[in-house]
Amino acid sequence: MTNLWMPVLAAIGLALATGPLGAFVIWRRMAYFGDATAHASILGVALAVAGILPLYLAVFLVALIMALIVSALHGRGHTMDATLGVMAYAGLSLGMVAVSFTAQPEVELHDFLFGDIMRVTSTDLWVIWGGVLVVLAGLVWRWAPLLTSTLNEDLAVASGLKPRREQLVLTLALAVVVAVAIKVVGALLIGAMLIIPAAAARGVSRTPEGMVIVAVLIGAVASVCGLMASVQWSTPAGPSIVVAASLAFGLSAMFAKRR
Amino acid sequence: MSLVSAKGVSLKYGGTLVLRSVDLSIEAGEIVTVIGPNGSGKSTLLRALLGAKEVAEGQITRKDGLRIGYVPQRLAVEANMPLMVGRFLSLPVRHDKVEVRAMLKRVGMAGFEARQLTELSGGQFQRVLLARALLGEPDILMLDEPTQGLDQSGVAGFYQLLEEVRQEMGCAVLLVSHDLHVVMSASDRVICLNGHICCEGTPTVVSAAPEYRALFGAGTLGTMALYQHTHDHSHEEHGHD
């Protein structure tokens, strides 16, 4: 059996960050925000393949720029839905076209779309866990202000908070998560890792903190199960993890309904 | 020094100017009611005084370290966010459990700490919002149509509670409302708004003012006349500006 501990560590690291961040994505109804940012990161892959920037830095920068644009648009109200959708797919397609221009035949675009978790190196692990810890530290630091401005921005302002600053914290966190997830689940499935564990946790939680912890657990368990299944049946690893998380969502939905 | 004051403030909503040249200030302990028809800019004004809305023109000054207790018109809690009443009262500032329990009791919501916000009725929610605002020991309470959607007894009960806690705590109150008949008598000052300040003064002065009568109809205190309000500023032409 393939040595699984490096992929498992990578996936669990990612789940630690996508749990809390995914909860905010759901609470703030920013699903498209995550997708647009993640899809555009393929453009960062193009920069890396062309040898202009190292992979993680390139993906982070592109994700950050996209996240800032999307975040600014999001602030303009709910009519931005269509624009966000356009940006998500424009970013993805532009990235793929750009990669094709770099004319590196050995580049497997597939690996960046769905991740290449079985081949993460110890360097990848350092980057992933470093990024994850930064995201966690930021979210813990701003926890109460983030919750308050997620509930209601005016209420947050009245309490002396600056909702825009909190939004920026989330934007930065999202860019970091997209960057570290590119090798784990790839650009197409980052959104799934944000939304599915958090959505699965919703039905069984009574507090925001509880929802985050359950989301992290579901993400971690789904990672391990998905990876094992992937080895067992030679299925693609990233999608297998997402399938496992989706099963958890199904179970949680049934449990919540029965209560 | 005033708690909060506006000088020559104009406000836009979307691209449209909804309020122009507003001057007002609120002193410690004062009860000020802002009334006006729908779309008269009253909620926008409140948000600007709060600091949640940028002014298009003019200046808003808040006293240094001003503690604001804000009660929004309604709070749409995202159904996917699990949050209990007790926790909500401690956001973002943690409050002692005993304090939270006492405050919930004060607003008639004793024992609701472990209830989910999404399970509360409209009236219960408004009381919880008031409790949260009061826990911050505010210098000023700002309430934006806090009784919208409540039935008549709910409205009366809420204002009675508001009046009681205000007397206990001595904070100023800035209330945006169109429940004229309930709120006007308790106010020190009423500001009548429709795109600008039409008239202001004590409740008696305002209810006798021609601008007020033009807006809400003569002798309509306590009626629902303002819901049919279509008046378009004829008083402006009499050199009011």
B98 touches chain A (CB under 8 A): no
User: Which residues in chain B are closer than 8 Å to A159, comparing Cβ atoms?
Assistant: 68, 92-93, 136
- Nearest CB among A155, A161, A205 relative to B82 is that of A205
| Residues in CB range of B102: below 8 A, 6 or more apart | none
Q: Which residues of B touch A26 (CB under 8 A)?
A: 78, 80
Q: Is the pLDDT of residue A1 over 60?
A: no
Q: What is the pTM of this model?
A: 0.88
Contact across the interface for B81 and A145, Cβ inside 8 Å: no
**Of A145, A154, A206, which has the smallest distance from its Cβ to B52's Cβ?**
A154
pLDDT at B236: 40
CA B172 vs. chain centroid, Å, equals 11
Quick check: helix, strand or coil at residue A107?
coil
Which residues of A make CB contacts under 8 Å with B? 26-29, 144-145, 147-148, 150-159, 161, 199, 202, 205-208, 210-211
Give chain B positions within 8 Å (CB) of A161.
92
ipTM: 0.85
Candidate from B51, B82, B136 with C-beta closest to A207: B82
Residues of chain A with C-beta less than 8 angstroms from the C-beta of B52? 153-154, 157-158
- Residue B209: CA count within 13 A, CB half-sphere: 20
Least confident of A75-89, A102-116, A117-131, A155-169: A75-89
Distance CA A212, CA A24 (A): 9
Name the B residues in 3-42 with CB < 8 Å from any A CB.
none
Half-sphere exposure of residue B160: CA atoms within 13 angstroms, side-chain side = 7
Q: What is the mean pLDDT of residues A135-155?
A: 95
- Decide: helix, strand or coil at residue B71: strand
Query: What CA–CA distance (Å, rounded) separates B31 from B188?
Result: 5
pLDDT bracket for residue A259 (50, 70, 90): low
Q: What is the pLDDT of residue A222?
A: 97
Low-confidence ranges of chain B (pLDDT < 70): 179-185, 217-241
Residue of B nearest to A76 (CA): B14
Flag the least confident range among A80-94, A122-136, A205-219, A244-258.
A80-94
Residue A188 carries which DSSP code? T
* Separation in Å, CA of A122 to nearest CA in chain B: 37
pLDDT (tens digit per residue) in B11-22: 998 888 999 999
CA-based nearest residue in chain B for residue A153: B52
Partners of A253 on chain B (C-beta within 8 Å) are none
Percent of chain A with pLDDT over 70: 94
Are the beta carbons of B81 and A208 separated by less than 8 Å?
yes
Q: Write down the pLDDT at residue B185.
A: 67
Cis bond upstream, residue B92 (ω within 30): yes
Q: pLDDT digit string (tens) for A28-59?
A: 988 888 888 899 888 898 888 888 899 999 99
CA distance A251 to A185: 22
Query: What value does the CA radius of gyration of chain A take, rounded to a whole number of Å?
Result: 18
Give CA A31 to chain center in angstroms.
10
Q: Which residue of A has its CA nearest to B64?
A: A160
Q: What is the pLDDT of residues B74-108, one digit of tens each?
A: 888 888 999 999 999 999 999 999 999 999 999 99
